[in-house]
Amino acid sequence: MIRKLLLLLTCSATLLSFSQVSGVGINEDNPQQSLHLGSSTGTIRVDGLNATNNNYNGGELDKTYPLYVDNNGDMTLQTTAYNNSDGNDAFLSTDPINSEVSITLAQANDGYEVIEITSYDFTVDRNTILEIKYSLSIEVFQDLLLNIIRDPYARNISNFFTLDTPVLTPTTRRYAAHSKCYFNYNYENGAASLPNASTGYIYNSGTTYVTLTPGTHTLRFYGSVCSGSANRSTFVRFAGGPDAVFLKLH
């Protein structure tokens, strides 16, 4: 009877100890989490994530790969994106985008025009970070007839995103902004009929991170062109070539 009582007291003391500790410690007598590694050099190895067992592990020596957690709390190396062109053209001819913007003499004499190319809507139920990467093709001409620019003035072409701003103002924060300065004048051949430069695509590329709070948000993608203080005839076509867009919620 005494042995049974001692055993009961021992079990009760053990359960009380686990209740107070509320965790498992490895090299740690007082775990502060459900699992607490107490060694300053301790690491965790998961065979299911190694190069032999996981196709997303590149397996190169001294290289590391990002670890994610899915909705079940499982650790994984696989990542998914909200939008990822992944080698394909991000903007096909059927996509609802505004791809063209012009500066003409009939407009306000400020030499600047901007257009909303497309938008993306996000509804999130937690604080999160949106990662943005893009590479957008640009073609620059003098007019809609695709004549080559011959005057001695540069054009600045920009792309950027805004967050939850339906009307663009000078004080609107512009994310992932990137610009190219286009100049196409040959002093030795300025008035001749021969072209002064080859035509083709140039690119704006940008990367940024945007903080999103719970709720619905709209990310708007813009393109702009500036010819200086005067209206120098300009026609810019966006997304006519192979383009890339990557959007990921972290």
Tell me the Ramachandran region of residue 166: left when phi exceeds 0, alpha when psi lies from -120 to 50, beta otherwise: alpha
DSSP string, 182-221: E----TTSTTSSS-SS----EEEEEEEEEEE-SEEEEEEE
d(CA 202, CA 52): 42
Whether residue 82 contacts residue 249, with contact meaning beta carbons closer than 8 Å, is answered with yes
Show the DSSP H helices in the chain as ranges: 2-21
Q: What is the pLDDT along the chain (250 residues), one digit of tens a residue?
A: 555 544 444 555 454 444 455 788 888 888 888 888 888 776 788 888 888 888 888 888 888 888 888 888 888 888 788 888 888 899 887 778 889 999 888 777 788 999 999 999 999 999 999 999 999 999 999 899 988 887 888 899 999 999 999 999 889 999 999 999 988 876 655 555 555 666 789 999 999 999 999 999 999 999 999 988 888 899 999 999 999 999 999 8
Q: What is the pTM of this model?
A: 0.75
Tell the burial category of 239 from Cβ atoms under 10 Å away from its Cβ (0-12, 13-18, 19+). buried
- Parallel, antiparallel, or unpaired: how do β-strands 112-124 and 100-103 relate? unpaired
- Residue ranges and CATH numbers for the domains of the chain are 1-44 (no CATH), 45-79 (no CATH), 83-249 (2.60.120)
